[in-house]
Amino acid sequence: MAVLSLTLLAVGCGDKDTDDSGDGATVDVVSEILALQGDETGGEALFASSCSGCHGVDGDSGTAPMLSAKVPDASDDHIVDVMINGIGNMAPVSLENQEAADILAFLRASF
């Protein structure tokens, strides 16, 4: 059963990374997210539910690195990549594309 679930997971990931045109081209999820218009108000709520557990409610009071020290120098591309792919000791966060765009808008408005 465990093997079956793993297989299904792998298939699920594969689906997410490829477009459905049938040519197997890899869709750049980061670019897709960057093309969206983020909503900073929605992003604030999403930050509270998805990020504040480690980074603190204000982004600077958690166990994870202070976002005020990270966000201003980071490109949009990098921040989105960190959210969806993780970095170092931070695991990827499961987010819809629009949710990631909203959180980015909130971070840009806050730091």
Give the span between the Cα atoms of 102 and 96, in whole angstroms.
Answer: 10
Q: Toward ligand HEC, which CB reaches closer, 18 or 90?
A: 90
Give the span between the Cα atoms of 48 and 46, in whole angstroms.
Answer: 5
Q: Toward ligand HEC, which CB reaches closer, 18 or 65?
A: 65
- Tell which residue, 78, 64, 65, has the closest CA to residue 108: 78
- In the complex, what is the shortest distance from the CB of residue 77 to ligand HEC, in angstroms, rounded to a whole number? 11
Using CB under 6 A, list all residues that contact ligand HEC.
50-51, 53-55, 64-65, 67, 70-71, 74, 79, 82-83, 87-91, 93, 103
3-state SS of the chain: helix, strand, coil percent to 5? Answer: 60, 5, 40
- In the complex, what is the shortest distance from the CB of residue 55 to ligand HEC, in angstroms, rounded to a whole number? 5
Q: Toward ligand HEC, which CB reaches closer, 18 or 78?
A: 78
Amino acid, single-letter form, for residue 6: L
- In the complex, what is the shortest distance from the CB of residue 80 to ligand HEC, in angstroms, rounded to a whole number? 9
104: tokens are 């980015």
